Structure 1
Amino acid sequence: PAAVDWRKKGYVTPVKNQGQCGSCWAFSSVGALEGQLKRKTGKLLSLSPQNLVDCVTNNDGCGGGYMTNAFEYVRQNRGIDSEDAYPYVGQVWGWGGEGKAAKCRGYREIPEGNEKALKRAVARIGPVSVGIDASLPSFQFYSRGVYYDESCNAENINHAMLAVGYGTQKGTKYWIIKNSWGEEWGNKGYVLLARNMNNACGIANLASFP
């Protein structure tokens, strides 16, 4: 399809705020899991990034990590807790959850840099975990419109988010990206990121889904 927005289909939970903890990878991962949980059960439920921050030993808690490691943990753990059962505290807590809210059979990765494959996945699968270069002030102070900055470095992936759709605005193609910096950031917590502009900010360099 020419445009997709999973928010309109009820696949996307409210925007969260990761706070001072470098746990964007956990929010990105639960976002993709939430979409698939909705797809399989018809229920939209906020899952627990804290469960991942505390328990994914291959990642560095608040120091960063990969979404694929998170999906693998949920698979091995045979589940992940809901946000209600295991609330977010924004630091490593070390509590250990029961993993009752959602399961994960495995994950797939988008071929590096392939925006066509990312578009296909977003259209067919649902929200997809993505990583980008979010280090520029222009990104941090983004408020509206389609974000594109030539200084963005596709090789410097330093922030994980969630692609929840795509579209075109006045001839400019974009991705709809959910961030985890609260609703005060960007456009109610979201950013429209330039699409098919030579893999802007590395949008397709670290994309995966459960």
Structure 2
Amino acid sequence: QNGTCQYNASTRAATCSKYVELPYADEAALKDAVANIGPISVAIDATQPTFFLYRSGVYDDPRCTQEVNHAVLVIGYGTLNDKDYWLVKNSWGVRFGDEGYIRMSRNHANHCGIASYASYPLI
């Protein structure tokens, strides 16, 4: 849009001084960071139709690869029906998945590359 930028530095809530990258494909490090830091940015393979169509349960598609193409936010983890999962917030709105969230398989060989490129900002 044309016009004057409305950004005002004096009203910003925080400044990111740098960011921390977690060890590549280390799900234990990701779990520790989620528990002790908070939400963690990650990249995943979101190419499978089953990802787009997810509604409930723990997402675990064997066709999912380590080639990542989509950024999401890991906000928690848990276990559902004996399946470990990452609780992931997507950016596609509440019509995606379970009100905008997906439970992705955890402790399953870095499923969909979820722990490959994990990072968080230092404020």
TM-score above 0.5, yes or no: yes
Secondary structure at 2:77 match in 1: strand
Comparing both structures, which one devotes a greater share of its residues to helix?
1
User: What is the match of residue 161 of structure 1?
Assistant: 72
Partner in structure 2 of residue 145 of structure 1: 57
Instruction: Give a deviation string over 1:36-71, Cα, whole Å, max 9, x none.
Output: xxxxxxxxxxxxxxxxxxxxxxxxxxxxxxxxxxxx
Q: CA RMSD in A?
A: 1.8
Q: How many residues align?
A: 118
Runs of 4+ in 1 over 2 A off after TM superposition: 93-99
Within the candidate set 98, 102, 105, 1:187 is matched to 98
**Identity value in percent:** 49
Q: What is the one-letter code of the residue matched to 1:97?
A: Y
Report the CA distance between 1:102 and its aligned residue: 1.7
Match of 1:173 in 2: 84
Matched, 1:103 2:15: yes
Q: Give the unaligned 5+ runs of structure 2.
A: none
Q: What TM-score, normalized by structure 2, do the two folds share?
A: 0.90
Unaligned runs of 5+ in 1: 1-90
User: d(CA) in 2 for partners of 1:101 and 1:147?
Assistant: 35
Per the alignment, residue 115 of structure 1 pairs with 27
Task: Label 1:157 to 1:96 Cα distance change in 2 as closer, same or farther (>3 A).
Answer: farther
TM-score by length of 1: 0.54
Q: Select the structure with the greater relative contact order (CA < 8 A; seq sep ≥ 6).
A: 2
Q: Which amino acid aligns with 1:144?
A: S
Instruction: Report deviation, 1:95.
Output: 4.1
If each structure's strand is expressed as a fraction of its own residues, which one has the higher value? Answer: 2
Check 1:96–1:206 CA distance in 2 against 1; reply closer, same or farther (3 A cut): farther
